[in-house]
Amino acid sequence: MNRVFAIILTLTIVFLLPLQVSAQKSKFPDVTQFHGEIELLTSRGVITGFNDGTFRPKANITRADAIIMLMRELKIPLNEVRNPNFKDLKPGDRGYSEIAMAVQLEIVSGKPGNIFDPKGTLTRGEMAKILAITYDLGGIFPYGFPDVAFEHWTFPYISALAANNITVGFNDGRFQPGLPITREHFSVFMARIVNPDLRPYNPKVADSFLEAMFAMEIIDYVAHPTDSIIFLLDAQENAIIAFNHETYDADYIQLKLPAEKIAYANGKLYATQLTGVRSPFIKDEDMRGAFAVIDATTMTLERIINIKLDPFDIAADDNGVVYISSGSAQWTSVQSFNSVTGEVLSTQGIRHRSYLAMHPDQNRLYSINTDSSPRTMRVYSINEGKLGPEIRSPYHGDYSLNQDIAITPDGKYIINSRGHFFRSTVTPSADMRYVATLDQTYSSIAFDVEYGEFYTSNKQNWIQAYDYITLRPIYQLTTYGNVEKMFYQNDILVIFSKVKLGNSPRTFIGIEKIYY
């Protein structure tokens, strides 16, 4: 699982950022470009220039001067510093206190032989590392400089600066990490971090923030209702992963029997467990299967419940009742089970291979068939874990439906990826009634009901935002990868996408975010 869940945080970039000349002039007579950036740092006391009044923008910056500028910008008190004990730096030397504090903060370290080389030049790669660490910059830009190998130690830092639209390349497309950096370019990088308004427009920088990439094959996702956790079912390892997208902590449990679908309710995870081969010709009495009950906090297996059903989809409620639709036998059943004892609580008719959607109120269960045309929705009432007889949709082929069904977080609508919205209500005569259709289909959808927006994507590298009241499109957002799944949690749009690294033929699962 370490291999599967390894987060790739080291990528490169290939885009060029144009040199921009601000209309605001610098006080230094030898500054001919980047006036705004240099004037910003001058006004903040970061840049003072030389005794002759010049800035010397084309001169290479020394390691000591770079650290002095950083400490001035950070405004960190320097009255109490620990001696780093470098052979070439002693108390009273220029930059001693600033360098000692930077070492203390683990922003920089020395060179072999226990020296710091304060008068030595700083390379572009070293610059990227220092700035990324100092300002806690993260993110991935999934392109590559031809002169920076994937294994190069500067990868995570260059990538972080690029993801934040700070770093620049040369006209030939190279980054040149070993080249000394000039005083003006170091100033530009720092100014763009301090004031994001100075960052130039670049169409290759997406609206999302690519934070990590994984080598997994995710076949099902379930979001925790309150915490920043998303449960992932990885087909490669047949494992369920509890992934915290804020801390990037992860825990997992590997299952012995094949799993296809998972559900979460009240601190428990439930997973379908296949024990045989599906077939429309199997009789109900010959079907076999199971479901797993997992403690979602500790990610430990509590029990396996064997059932006389070939599980296809699964739902659960807070009372520990599990609802499973059959994957075999054509006209078959959906059943509810006591997840502790395994007792069958109820059985109702259903078309095999039907997907399920639990209403947020947990008083009714919706389904949609997948193997026949036209597709039809059904609803089953729930009373103390027992399913009532099916009520079919009032429409038969009037609205073409894809093989999915979901309920909006507020429970008002049943939705299908064809873009159709249907009413969800306990009143049978009004339930599943058509409301409206979006202007386009989607493969993934996420809702921010509180602020009245929702977001769709159709396996492309852009997202359409809608007004939740009018269902009208309002704006678009770009992503780095093709969107597979989205969740809105704690003011963050969390996006699982398929991303490639530069010209690599392999596709990874990317974790992209849009912060609101």
The span from the CA of 89 to the CA of 106, in Å, is: 17
Report residue 260's pLDDT band, with 50, 70 and 90 as the boundaries. Answer: very high
Which of 361-368's residues contact partners 24+ apart within 8 Å by CB, and which partners?
Answer: 361/411, 362/317, 362/318, 363/426, 364/426, 365/315, 365/323, 365/334, 366/405, 366/407, 366/414, 366/424, 366/432, 367/325, 367/334, 367/405, 368/401, 368/403, 368/404, 368/405, 368/416
pLDDT average, residue stretch 17-34: 64
Whole-number Å distance between alpha carbons of 423 and 430: 7
In one letter, which amino acid is 269?
A: L
Q: What is the pLDDT of residues 292-350, one digit of tens each?
A: 999 999 999 999 999 999 999 999 999 999 999 999 999 999 999 999 999 999 999 99
Least confident of 25-34, 117-126, 181-190: 25-34
Q: How far is CA 355 from CA 227, 265, 367, 373, 379, in A?
A: 26, 17, 5, 15, 12
Report the alpha-carbon distance of residue 434 to residue 184 in Å, rounded.
62
Amino acid at 84: P
Q: State the pLDDT confidence band at 41, using cuts at 50, 70 and 90.
A: very high
Q: How far apart are CA 437 and CA 160, in angstroms?
A: 40
Quick check: 23 pLDDT over 80?
no
pLDDT of residue 510: 96
- Largest Cα–Cα distance of the chain, in whole Å? 94
pLDDT of 59 above 90: yes
Which positions ≥6 away from 1 have C-beta within 8 Å?
A: 237, 239, 252, 254
Cis-peptide into 91, omega within 30 deg? no
pLDDT beyond 50 at 17: no
Position 188 scores a pLDDT of 94
Residue among 496, 497, 498, 494 at smallest CA distance from 516: 494
Would you say the C-alpha torsion 303, 305, 311, 312 has a positive or negative sign? negative
For residue 450, count other CB atoms closer than 10 A to its CB.
11
More confident residue, 205 or 274: 274
Residue 132 pLDDT more than 60? yes
Average per-residue pLDDT in the chain?
Answer: 91
Structure tokens at 40: 């910003």
pLDDT of amino acid 145: 73
Q: Is the pLDDT of residue 249 over 70?
A: yes
Q: How confident is the model at residue 26 (pLDDT cuts 50, 70, 90)?
A: low
